[in-house]
Amino acid sequence: MNGLTKFSNVPSTKWLHFNFVTSIYNLYTKNNTHPSGELPNPDHKSVFKSDEKKKNDDIYHMPGRLICHLNKHKESLLRNDHYDDVTKWAYYGLFSVVIHNWNSIHKREKLALINSIVKIIRSISSNGTEINFKGENLNNYRESLIIFLKFILLSDSNTLSKIKDKPFVSDDYITNWKYLHDFLNECVYDLNSFNGEGNGIFMELINEYNYAKDFSKLLSIIYWVKSLKIVDNQLESASKAVLSRFKSVYTEECDLRGIINISYYATKIDPKLLSDGFLSDCLFTRFSNNIYQLNVIDCYHLLYFLKTFIDSGLANKLNCLYLPMAFNILANIHVYINGGELDTQELEELSSSIFNGKVDLTNLFNEQVNDKKYYKLKVINDLLKEVSEHLGILEPFCIKVHNEVSNIIY
């Protein structure tokens, strides 16, 4: 077990955190052929050549180690472990390492790191009183995460070069990290007024992806960044860029759950993103001739999309197009709530009417995953009530399912 693995797999204390950052700083910003006390020379990044085939490459795995350590460190701070001011500077040493090597990190690893940082910020921000209670260390940690996230979301290749080409000022770690703290904050301050058109490093990253699950993760990041008010500008253009890229690579073989999540987060970000009809066409086409087994989160996401679609006036004269999807949602919730005690005849009769003929309902009767998410059932029930009057021949069945859910949660 090397030092990085050791420090990333145990709960962080002050010195473990410091040693982890020092180790990763040495590994990724110094040429390992140099004496340990020597500053990086201008060619120190030449040793980091990206190699797609070498899965054990240190750079390739760097974000995974960071994610593990960042989560452990958050838990340590929430326990109110004792830290001193050195950790504040170490955060910036940590993130400067990522920026130094950004172009050598695999695209999946970049996305995983950004997504994990957003999740950590969410968990810290979810209870403001907890932040105040836990004190300055947790606030410093949160602010450093936000600074790094802003840098990645807003900067372009020129700004990235400023960090990569900046000489270090000392052979003392903490002095360098204080310097990087000041420099990163200055960059982000300047970026707050940045209005670049599609040439940012986040925009470039968007255009590297090809799979629905990656696009859903990108939109999830954008949604939470917007909700947490981390960044104000460029989110609209970033959202459109994600959907444009998804549209360019979309095929009927795309993962259905990925499409469901993309549609949900696009709806949450801005209902106007549905206006070109692309996402609704994707969903309605996939559900037009098939019955799928959906989990509770799938049903919630689809119901939220359907309600927004109806409320936005996009459903006018298109009622027949979304009824197969609505049947899929209702049938899955019905099966989920009732287990094996079903009126299969009712489902078969309804499906014949909706799909203009007999369809295979086998998927519905497969064993359901026992993952009852009651916190979602409440909001699902509210959505069922709101959409029921727009479902035509499905309205009575929708009301029945609504009543079944009510019996579970009340």
pLDDT digits (tens, 9 = 90+) for 384-393: 999 999 998 9
CA distance 354 to 386: 21
Mean pLDDT rounded to a whole number for the chain: 77
Report DSSP letters for 8-71, one per residue.
HSS---HHHHHHHHHHHHHHHHS-TTS-TTSPPPTTGGGG----TT-TT-HHHHHHHHHHHHHH
Among 56-65, 250-259, 400-409, the least confident range? 56-65
Q: Write the CA distances from 153 to 110, 126, 232, integer angstroms.
A: 12, 22, 11
280: pLDDT strictly greater than 50: yes
Top pLDDT among 225 and 25 is at 225
For the ranges 63-67, 85-89, 209-213, 354-358, the one whose mean pLDDT is highest: 209-213
CA distance 211 to 160: 26
- DSSP H stretches of helix in 192-277: 201-206, 212-227, 235-249, 256-269
- The CA radius of gyration of the chain, in Å to the nearest whole number, is 25
Q: What is the model's pLDDT at position 40?
A: 38
**Whether the Cβ atoms of residue 107 and residue 205 lie closer than 8 Å to each other:** yes
Mean pLDDT of 139-168: 81
Q: What is the dihedral of CA 341, 342, 344, 346, to 10 degrees?
A: 150
Q: How confident is the model at residue 255 (pLDDT cuts 50, 70, 90)?
A: very high
83: pLDDT strictly greater than 60: no
pTM given for the model: 0.82
54: pLDDT strictly greater than 50: no
As a residue count, the chain comes to: 410
Q: How confident is the model at residue 37 (pLDDT cuts 50, 70, 90)?
A: very low
pLDDT tens-digit map of 257-276: 999 999 999 999 999 999 99
Exposure class string for 57-88: b at 16+ Cβ within 10 A, else e: bbbbbbbebbbbbbbbbbebbbeebebeeebb
**Whether the Cβ atoms of residue 164 and residue 100 lie closer than 8 Å to each other:** yes
pLDDT tens-digit map of 179-211: 778 888 888 877 765 454 546 889 999 999 999
> Any idea what DSSP says for residue 192?
T
Residue listed under structure tokens 């309600």:
307
Q: How confident is the model at residue 9 (pLDDT cuts 50, 70, 90)?
A: very low
Q: Which two tokens stand for residue 371?
A: 């993952």
Within a 13 Å sphere around the CA of 27, how many CA atoms are in the beta-carbon half?
Answer: 19
Share of the chain above pLDDT 90, in %: 34
Q: What is the dihedral of CA 178, 184, 188, 194, to 10 degrees?
A: 150
43: pLDDT strictly greater than 60: no
> Any idea what DSSP says for residue 183?
H
Q: What is the dihedral of CA 80, 83, 89, 90, to 10 degrees?
A: -80
